């Protein structure tokens, strides 16, 4: 099932389990489509490029070795993982109701323009498992070098919604967050259901499940989160999205990012140590 004519030099892997289909690009190991019973679950801007020349605007981009603006190493926003071509390790179907595909990224595979900036030896393994009713994605980070390094990372989920005005996010009540738009720390989210009525860009701390509610029904539940301790809620809203050339006109009304991350407390890995972060989306 190919929803977009993907440029020939950006390979794509399609998984199928029953009436569920999933497309992942080798570029950034980016899941770009998850169709369940004919319904696309993820937002993918129809103005995104899929030719490897820019990060994908939608799907599930991976932020690594840092989440957020360019860092001290001069890496771009959200690091190099989402703009590098990962190695396809193969697919596996343990049984008719589950299909898995894995990808790897090592320093030699980092996008040319970013190579050498992050002076550490590492191996990333990203595993995507499609089941009839859910999607599991898991990132493993291994320090294969002789010195320690730390990193932050996010699985940048873009969920498709019919109309952001009817969307609420559940599971954040009582959690503190950093409001990136107003640049202030909020000690606690009091609302049981968080609605989006303006540009929203928040990092919630110590969250291990969250759900997108639309019209009273759960439209996406992010659960079984391990390794990640933070959840990012983002919608650029009208003005901000109009400044993003790969955001379609009005696209902000059809999406919400509920991302799992390890942001507030970076992971420190000594030589030979490993970290795994996993999410399950229903
Ligand atoms: O997920 C929140 C965020 O950090 C926002 O601040 C916004 O920058 C978003 O990521 C998308 O980043 P991008 O570089 O893909 O435009």
Give the closest residue (by CA) to ligand 1 atom 13: 77
The whole-number pLDDT of residue 139 equals 98
Closest to 148 in 3D by CA, of 18, 277, 268: 268
Local structure of 252: helix, strand or coil: helix
The answer to whether the CB of 25 falls within 8 A of the CB of 144 is: no
CA 112 – ligand 1 centroid, Å: 22
Hey, what are 252's tokens? 């902000």
Give the closest residue (by CA) to ligand 1 atom 9: 234
CA 68 – ligand 1 centroid, Å: 7
The answer to whether the CB of 4 falls within 8 A of the CB of 50 is: yes
CA 221 – ligand 1 centroid, Å: 21
Q: What is the pTM of this model?
A: 0.96
The whole-number pLDDT of residue 92 equals 86
| d(C-alpha 234, C-alpha 256), whole Å | 6
Looking at residue 57, the DSSP 8-state letter turns out to be: S
| d(C-alpha 148, C-alpha 181), whole Å | 33
The whole-number pLDDT of residue 94 equals 77
The whole-number pLDDT of residue 10 equals 61
Count of Cβ atoms closer than 10 Å to residue 199 Cβ: 17
Q: What is the pLDDT of residues 189-207, one digit of tens each?
A: 999 999 999 999 999 999 9
Give the closest residue (by CA) to ligand 1 atom 1: 234
Report CA-CA distances (Å) from 220 to 68, 202, 204. Answer: 24, 18, 18
**Contact partners, residue 29, CB within 8 Å, separation at least 6:** 62, 81, 86, 103, 105, 126, 128
The whole-number pLDDT of residue 4 equals 37
Closest atom of ligand 1 to CA, residue 78: 14
CA 236 – ligand 1 centroid, Å: 9
Give the closest residue (by CA) to ligand 1 atom 14: 77
Question: ipTM of this model?
Answer: 0.98
Q: What is the pLDDT of residues 12-68, one digit of tens each?
A: 999 999 999 999 999 999 999 999 999 999 999 999 999 999 999 999 999 999 999
Residues near ligand 1 (Cβ within 6 A): 55, 68, 77-78, 156, 180, 201, 232, 234, 257, 259
The answer to whether the CB of 243 falls within 8 A of the CB of 251 is: no
Q: What is the pLDDT of residues 100-114, one digit of tens each?
A: 999 999 999 999 999
Instruction: Using the predicted structure, report yes or no on whether residue 2 has a pLDDT greater than 80.
Output: no
Closest atom of ligand 1 to CA, residue 180: 6
**Contact partners, residue 113, CB within 8 Å, separation at least 6:** none
**Catalytic machinery residues:** 156, 259
Q: Taking residues 155-181, report their average pLDDT.
A: 98
pLDDT: which is higher, 254 or 91:
254
Hey, what are 233's tokens? 């809620």
| d(C-alpha 273, C-alpha 282), whole Å | 31
Closest atom of ligand 1 to CA, residue 259: 1
CA 96 – ligand 1 centroid, Å: 36
The whole-number pLDDT of residue 1 equals 37
Which mutation among 49, 153, 201 tests ligand 1's pocket best, with the greatest number of atoms within 8 A of CB?
201
Q: What is the pLDDT of residues 161-173, one digit of tens each?
A: 999 999 999 999 9
DSSP assignment string, 176-224: -EEETTTTEEES----SEEE--S-EEEEEES---EEEEETTEEEEEEEE
The whole-number pLDDT of residue 93 equals 84
Report CA-CA distances (Å) from 186 to 120, 147, 175, 204. Answer: 35, 36, 9, 9
pLDDT: which is higher, 95 or 87:
87
Q: What is the pLDDT of residues 208-263, one digit of tens each?
A: 999 999 999 999 999 999 999 999 999 999 999 999 999 999 999 999 999 999 99
Instruction: Using the predicted structure, report yes or no on whether residue 8 has a pLDDT greater than 50.
Output: no
């Amino acid at each position: 099932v190919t929803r977009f004519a993907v440029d020939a030099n950006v390979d794509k892997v399609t998984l199928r389990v029953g009436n569920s289909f999933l497309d992942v690009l080798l570029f950034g190991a980016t899941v770009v489509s998850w169709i369940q019973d004919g319904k696309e679950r993820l937002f993918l801007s129809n103005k995104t490029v899929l030719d490897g020349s820019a990060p994908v605007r939608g799907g599930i981009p991976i932020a690594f070795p840092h989440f957020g603006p360019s860092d001290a190493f001069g890496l771009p926003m959200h690091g190099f993982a989402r703009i590098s071509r990962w190695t396809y390790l193969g697919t596996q179907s343990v049984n008719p109701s589950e299909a898995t595909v894995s990808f790897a990224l090592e320093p030699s595979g980092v996008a040319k323009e970013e190579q050498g900036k992050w002076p550490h030896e590492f191996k990333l393994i990203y595993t995507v498992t499609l089941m009839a009713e859910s999607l599991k994605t898991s990132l493993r980070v291994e320090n294969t070098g002789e010195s320690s390094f730390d990193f932050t990372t996010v699985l940048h989920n873009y969920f498709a919604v019919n109309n952001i005005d009817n969307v609420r996010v559940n599971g954040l009540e009582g959690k503190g967050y950093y409001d990136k738009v107003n640049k202030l720390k909020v000690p606690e989210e009091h609302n049981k259901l968080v609605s989006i009525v303006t540009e929203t860009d928040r990092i919630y701390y110590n969250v291990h499940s969250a759900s997108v509610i639309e019209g009273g029904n759960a439209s996406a539940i992010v659960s079984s989160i391990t390794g990640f301790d933070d959840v990012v809620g983002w919608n650029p809203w009208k003005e901000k999205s109009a400044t993003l050339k790969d955001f379609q006109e009005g696209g902000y009304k059809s999406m919400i990012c509920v991302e799992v991350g390890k942001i507030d407390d970076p992971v420190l890995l000594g030589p030979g140590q490993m970290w795994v972060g996993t999410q399950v989306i229903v």
